[in-house]
Amino acid sequence: MSLQYSPEGYIDRKVLQAVAAAIRSIEKISGAIEEYEISEEDAELLCGALNCLWAILENNGYTIEVDTNRLRRADP
C-alpha cells in the first residue's frame, strides 16, 4: 500500500496499525542483527526504514505503548 495517496495531515488508522506492525517486526530482528551477518549498507537501510516508519506514526500523533506493544495516541 502506498502512502502517497493518503490525504495530507491524515492517515487512516488501519495504515497506522500496519506501520506499527512493521516497526514491531523490524525491531524483533534488529536486536539480533549480527545473527544475519548483513552488510553495513543493509544495516543502514534497515535503520533508515525504521526511522521513516516511526516518523509516520509520530507525525500523526501516535506511538507504540511500551508495556502493551500497542498503537496509541501520543501524549502532547
Query: Does a structural domain hold residue 28?
Result: yes
Interhelix angle 40-59/13-30, rounded to 10 degrees, is 150
Give the SS3 label for residue 71: strand
Q: Please count the structural domains in the chain.
A: 1
In a domain, 3, yes or no: no
2 lies in some domain: no
Report if residue 47 sits inside a domain: yes
Distance CA 23, CA 50 (A): 6
**pTM to 2 decimal places:** 0.70
Give the integer Cα–Cα distance in Å for 64 and 54: 9
Identify the pLDDT of residue 35.
65
- Output the CA angle 16-19-25, nearest 5 degrees: 145
In DSSP terms, 73 is beta-bridged to 62
Question: Residue length, the chain?
Answer: 76
Q: For residue range 31-65, what is the model confidence (pLDDT) as tens digits? A: 655 566 778 898 888 888 889 998 988 888 888 88
